[in-house]
Amino acid sequence: MAVKIAITGFGGRMGRALAEAVIQADAAELSAAIVRPGSSLVGADAGEVAGIGRNGIVIVDSLDKADFDVLIDFTAPAATLANAEYCAEQGRPIVVGTTGFDPQQKKALLAHAEKVPLCLASNFSTGVNLCFNLLETAARVMGNDSDIEIVEAHHRHKVDAPSGTALSMGEVVAETLGRDLAKVAVYGREGQTGARERETIGFATVRGGDVVGEHTVSFLADGERVEITHKASSRLSFARGAVRAAIWLMGDDVQNGRQPGHYDMRDVLGLKN
Protein backbone atom coordinates (compact mmCIF):
# COMPACT_ATOMS: atom_id res chain seq x y z
CA MET A 1 0.00 0.00 0.00
CA ALA A 2 1.44 3.37 -1.04
CA VAL A 3 1.96 6.02 1.61
CA LYS A 4 -0.41 8.95 1.08
CA ILE A 5 1.62 12.16 1.31
CA ALA A 6 0.35 15.71 1.72
CA ILE A 7 2.55 18.70 0.89
CA THR A 8 2.20 22.15 2.40
CA GLY A 9 3.53 25.30 0.76
CA PHE A 10 2.62 23.67 -2.52
CA GLY A 11 2.91 26.82 -4.60
CA GLY A 12 6.59 27.35 -3.78
CA ARG A 13 9.70 26.01 -5.47
CA MET A 14 10.19 23.33 -2.84
CA GLY A 15 6.53 22.33 -2.96
CA ARG A 16 6.79 21.64 -6.67
CA ALA A 17 10.02 19.68 -6.22
CA LEU A 18 8.38 17.59 -3.50
CA ALA A 19 5.47 16.80 -5.81
CA GLU A 20 7.88 15.58 -8.47
CA ALA A 21 9.74 13.45 -5.92
CA VAL A 22 6.51 11.87 -4.68
CA ILE A 23 5.53 10.98 -8.24
CA GLN A 24 8.92 9.31 -8.74
CA ALA A 25 8.61 7.19 -5.58
CA ASP A 26 6.97 3.79 -6.09
CA ALA A 27 5.97 3.51 -2.43
CA ALA A 28 4.23 6.90 -2.21
CA GLU A 29 1.38 8.82 -3.76
CA LEU A 30 0.48 12.50 -3.67
CA SER A 31 -2.85 12.71 -1.87
CA ALA A 32 -3.14 16.40 -0.94
CA ALA A 33 -1.65 19.80 -1.78
CA ILE A 34 -2.07 22.69 0.64
CA VAL A 35 -1.40 26.42 0.25
CA ARG A 36 -2.00 29.40 2.54
CA PRO A 37 -5.56 30.75 2.86
CA GLY A 38 -6.32 33.35 0.23
CA SER A 39 -3.85 31.96 -2.29
CA SER A 40 -4.90 32.24 -5.93
CA LEU A 41 -3.93 28.56 -6.32
CA VAL A 42 -6.84 27.28 -4.22
CA GLY A 43 -9.04 25.09 -6.41
CA ALA A 44 -6.37 24.56 -9.09
CA ASP A 45 -5.18 21.15 -10.19
CA ALA A 46 -2.06 20.24 -8.19
CA GLY A 47 -0.45 18.37 -11.06
CA GLU A 48 -0.75 21.32 -13.41
CA VAL A 49 0.70 23.73 -10.84
CA ALA A 50 3.63 21.39 -10.18
CA GLY A 51 4.24 20.87 -13.90
CA ILE A 52 3.75 17.10 -13.71
CA GLY A 53 0.44 16.94 -15.60
CA ARG A 54 -3.14 16.98 -14.40
CA ASN A 55 -3.75 14.51 -11.57
CA GLY A 56 -7.21 15.45 -10.31
CA ILE A 57 -5.97 16.62 -6.89
CA VAL A 58 -7.51 19.97 -6.03
CA ILE A 59 -5.31 22.38 -4.08
CA VAL A 60 -6.84 23.30 -0.71
CA ASP A 61 -6.09 25.92 1.95
CA SER A 62 -6.20 23.91 5.19
CA LEU A 63 -5.14 20.53 6.52
CA ASP A 64 -8.64 19.57 7.62
CA LYS A 65 -9.58 19.43 3.94
CA ALA A 66 -6.74 17.00 3.16
CA ASP A 67 -6.52 13.21 3.22
CA PHE A 68 -3.04 11.91 4.06
CA ASP A 69 -0.89 9.48 6.04
CA VAL A 70 2.14 11.78 6.38
CA LEU A 71 2.58 15.53 5.99
CA ILE A 72 5.73 17.08 4.50
CA ASP A 73 6.22 20.70 5.56
CA PHE A 74 8.86 23.04 4.10
CA THR A 75 7.22 26.39 4.88
CA ALA A 76 7.95 28.90 7.66
CA PRO A 77 8.29 28.46 11.44
CA ALA A 78 4.87 29.82 12.47
CA ALA A 79 3.02 27.82 9.80
CA THR A 80 4.98 24.67 10.57
CA LEU A 81 4.19 24.92 14.28
CA ALA A 82 0.47 25.14 13.53
CA ASN A 83 0.67 22.22 11.11
CA ALA A 84 2.64 20.09 13.58
CA GLU A 85 0.03 20.77 16.25
CA TYR A 86 -2.71 19.61 13.87
CA CYS A 87 -0.77 16.43 13.03
CA ALA A 88 -0.21 15.69 16.73
CA GLU A 89 -3.91 16.09 17.43
CA GLN A 90 -4.78 13.81 14.52
CA GLY A 91 -2.07 11.23 15.23
CA ARG A 92 -0.33 11.67 11.85
CA PRO A 93 3.43 11.70 11.29
CA ILE A 94 5.11 14.82 9.95
CA VAL A 95 8.36 15.50 8.08
CA VAL A 96 9.72 19.01 8.70
CA GLY A 97 12.30 20.70 6.48
CA THR A 98 11.53 24.24 7.63
CA THR A 99 14.49 26.17 9.03
CA GLY A 100 14.85 29.39 11.01
CA PHE A 101 13.18 28.27 14.25
CA ASP A 102 14.20 30.17 17.37
CA PRO A 103 14.91 28.08 20.50
CA GLN A 104 11.38 28.40 21.88
CA GLN A 105 9.79 27.50 18.56
CA LYS A 106 12.02 24.45 18.17
CA LYS A 107 11.15 23.31 21.70
CA ALA A 108 7.44 23.69 20.95
CA LEU A 109 7.84 21.77 17.68
CA LEU A 110 9.69 18.85 19.27
CA ALA A 111 7.09 18.60 22.01
CA HIS A 112 4.73 17.17 19.38
CA ALA A 113 7.12 14.24 18.92
CA GLU A 114 5.72 12.89 22.19
CA LYS A 115 2.50 12.12 20.33
CA VAL A 116 3.56 11.34 16.74
CA PRO A 117 6.67 10.39 14.77
CA LEU A 118 8.35 13.65 13.72
CA CYS A 119 11.34 13.79 11.39
CA LEU A 120 13.11 17.15 11.58
CA ALA A 121 16.22 17.84 9.53
CA SER A 122 17.99 20.98 8.40
CA ASN A 123 18.81 19.16 5.17
CA PHE A 124 17.29 15.99 3.71
CA SER A 125 19.86 15.26 1.02
CA THR A 126 21.77 12.00 1.31
CA GLY A 127 25.10 13.74 0.66
CA VAL A 128 24.72 16.34 3.40
CA ASN A 129 23.84 13.70 5.97
CA LEU A 130 26.87 11.69 4.91
CA CYS A 131 28.88 14.89 5.44
CA PHE A 132 27.65 15.05 9.04
CA ASN A 133 29.31 11.70 9.68
CA LEU A 134 32.48 12.80 7.89
CA LEU A 135 32.53 15.96 10.02
CA GLU A 136 32.41 13.92 13.21
CA THR A 137 35.47 11.99 12.05
CA ALA A 138 37.34 15.12 10.97
CA ALA A 139 36.55 16.88 14.24
CA ARG A 140 37.81 13.95 16.30
CA VAL A 141 41.04 13.71 14.32
CA MET A 142 41.84 17.39 13.59
CA GLY A 143 39.40 19.56 15.52
CA ASN A 144 41.50 20.45 18.54
CA ASP A 145 44.51 21.36 16.38
CA SER A 146 42.63 23.33 13.72
CA ASP A 147 40.75 26.55 13.16
CA ILE A 148 37.26 25.63 11.98
CA GLU A 149 35.34 27.79 9.53
CA ILE A 150 32.01 27.19 7.77
CA VAL A 151 31.03 28.98 4.54
CA GLU A 152 27.60 28.58 2.98
CA ALA A 153 25.95 30.01 -0.15
CA HIS A 154 22.31 30.11 -1.22
CA HIS A 155 20.02 31.89 -3.68
CA ARG A 156 18.95 35.47 -3.16
CA HIS A 157 15.47 34.48 -1.90
CA LYS A 158 16.59 32.59 1.21
CA VAL A 159 15.41 34.51 4.28
CA ASP A 160 17.43 32.98 7.15
CA ALA A 161 21.19 33.06 7.73
CA PRO A 162 23.31 31.14 8.39
CA SER A 163 21.45 28.28 6.78
CA GLY A 164 20.00 25.56 8.96
CA THR A 165 22.43 23.12 7.35
CA ALA A 166 25.44 25.29 8.23
CA LEU A 167 24.24 25.50 11.82
CA SER A 168 23.74 21.75 11.95
CA MET A 169 27.26 21.24 10.65
CA GLY A 170 28.53 23.56 13.36
CA GLU A 171 26.56 21.67 15.99
CA VAL A 172 27.99 18.33 14.84
CA VAL A 173 31.54 19.67 15.08
CA ALA A 174 30.97 21.44 18.41
CA GLU A 175 29.32 18.43 20.05
CA THR A 176 32.11 16.13 18.87
CA LEU A 177 34.66 18.48 20.44
CA GLY A 178 32.65 19.02 23.64
CA ARG A 179 32.00 22.68 22.88
CA ASP A 180 28.81 24.72 23.20
CA LEU A 181 28.10 26.21 19.76
CA ALA A 182 26.11 29.06 21.29
CA LYS A 183 29.28 30.18 23.08
CA VAL A 184 31.92 29.56 20.40
CA ALA A 185 30.12 30.54 17.18
CA VAL A 186 31.30 33.70 15.40
CA TYR A 187 28.88 35.00 12.76
CA GLY A 188 30.87 37.17 10.39
CA ARG A 189 33.81 39.46 11.17
CA GLU A 190 34.36 43.17 10.68
CA GLY A 191 36.89 45.73 11.87
CA GLN A 192 39.63 45.13 14.42
CA THR A 193 38.57 41.70 15.63
CA GLY A 194 41.87 40.71 17.20
CA ALA A 195 43.58 37.35 16.85
CA ARG A 196 41.36 34.36 16.28
CA GLU A 197 40.60 32.22 19.34
CA ARG A 198 41.23 28.54 18.63
CA GLU A 199 37.94 27.23 20.05
CA THR A 200 35.72 29.50 17.97
CA ILE A 201 33.77 28.18 14.96
CA GLY A 202 33.32 30.80 12.27
CA PHE A 203 30.35 31.19 9.92
CA ALA A 204 30.25 33.15 6.66
CA THR A 205 27.17 33.60 4.47
CA VAL A 206 26.82 34.27 0.74
CA ARG A 207 23.46 35.14 -0.87
CA GLY A 208 22.90 35.62 -4.58
CA GLY A 209 21.67 34.30 -7.89
CA ASP A 210 20.01 30.91 -8.04
CA VAL A 211 22.47 28.90 -5.90
CA VAL A 212 20.55 25.90 -4.56
CA GLY A 213 22.93 25.31 -1.69
CA GLU A 214 26.67 25.02 -1.08
CA HIS A 215 28.44 24.29 2.22
CA THR A 216 32.13 23.97 3.04
CA VAL A 217 33.61 23.21 6.46
CA SER A 218 37.35 23.88 6.66
CA PHE A 219 39.71 22.46 9.28
CA LEU A 220 42.74 24.76 8.98
CA ALA A 221 45.86 23.49 10.73
CA ASP A 222 49.42 24.76 10.46
CA GLY A 223 50.80 23.42 7.19
CA GLU A 224 47.63 21.72 5.92
CA ARG A 225 43.86 21.96 5.75
CA VAL A 226 40.96 19.61 5.16
CA GLU A 227 37.75 20.83 3.52
CA ILE A 228 34.49 18.93 3.44
CA THR A 229 32.15 20.35 0.80
CA HIS A 230 28.65 19.60 -0.38
CA LYS A 231 27.09 21.27 -3.43
CA ALA A 232 23.45 20.82 -4.38
CA SER A 233 22.49 21.47 -8.00
CA SER A 234 18.79 20.62 -7.69
CA ARG A 235 16.11 20.86 -5.01
CA LEU A 236 15.16 17.32 -5.97
CA SER A 237 18.01 16.05 -3.79
CA PHE A 238 16.24 17.52 -0.75
CA ALA A 239 12.79 16.53 -1.95
CA ARG A 240 13.68 12.89 -2.58
CA GLY A 241 15.17 12.67 0.90
CA ALA A 242 12.04 14.13 2.49
CA VAL A 243 9.82 11.65 0.64
CA ARG A 244 12.14 8.84 1.70
CA ALA A 245 11.76 10.05 5.30
CA ALA A 246 7.97 10.13 5.00
CA ILE A 247 7.90 6.54 3.76
CA TRP A 248 10.34 5.51 6.52
CA LEU A 249 8.16 7.07 9.22
CA MET A 250 5.33 4.77 8.20
CA GLY A 251 7.62 1.74 8.46
CA ASP A 252 6.63 -1.55 6.87
CA ASP A 253 3.09 -1.23 8.20
CA VAL A 254 1.28 1.81 6.82
CA GLN A 255 -1.47 1.37 9.40
CA ASN A 256 0.85 1.60 12.39
CA GLY A 257 4.22 3.04 11.39
CA ARG A 258 6.99 4.03 13.77
CA GLN A 259 6.64 4.94 17.40
CA PRO A 260 6.22 8.62 18.37
CA GLY A 261 9.57 10.35 18.70
CA HIS A 262 12.02 12.85 17.27
CA TYR A 263 13.92 11.46 14.28
CA ASP A 264 16.28 13.01 11.77
CA MET A 265 17.58 12.09 8.34
CA ARG A 266 20.52 10.18 9.73
CA ASP A 267 18.00 7.89 11.45
CA VAL A 268 16.31 7.38 8.09
CA LEU A 269 19.61 6.54 6.36
CA GLY A 270 20.92 4.35 9.18
CA LEU A 271 23.99 6.57 9.61
CA LYS A 272 23.89 6.85 13.39
CA ASN A 273 26.38 4.78 15.37
Instruction: Enumerate the domain spans of the chain.
Output: 3-120+235-269, 126-232
Q: Which fold has domain 3-120+235-269?
A: Rossmann fold (3.40.50)
DSSP 8-class letter at 145: G
Residue 253 scores a pLDDT above 70: no
Residue 222 scores a pLDDT above 80: yes
Residue 37 scores a pLDDT above 60: yes
Residue 217 scores a pLDDT above 60: yes
**45 DSSP β-pair partners:** 58
**Annotated catalytic residue within 112, 154, 215, 230:** 154
Which residues 6+ apart lie within 8 Å of 15 measured at CB? Answer: 7, 8, 9, 33, 50, 74
Residue 1 has a pLDDT of 79
- 154 belongs to the catalytic site: yes
Q: In terms of DSSP bridges, do strands 147-154 and 213-221 run parallel, antiparallel, or are they unpaired?
A: antiparallel
**Annotated catalytic residue within 158, 215, 231, 272:** 158
Q: Give the integer Cα–Cα distance in Å for 98 and 117.
A: 16
Residue 211 scores a pLDDT above 70: yes
Per residue in 107-125, pLDDT tens? Answer: 999 999 999 999 999 899 9
Residue 148 scores a pLDDT above 80: yes
Residue 213 scores a pLDDT above 70: yes
Evaluate if pTM is beyond 0.75: yes
Average pLDDT over residues 13-23: 92
- 215 belongs to the catalytic site: no
Q: Which fold has domain 126-232?
A: Dihydrodipicolinate Reductase; domain 2 (3.30.360)
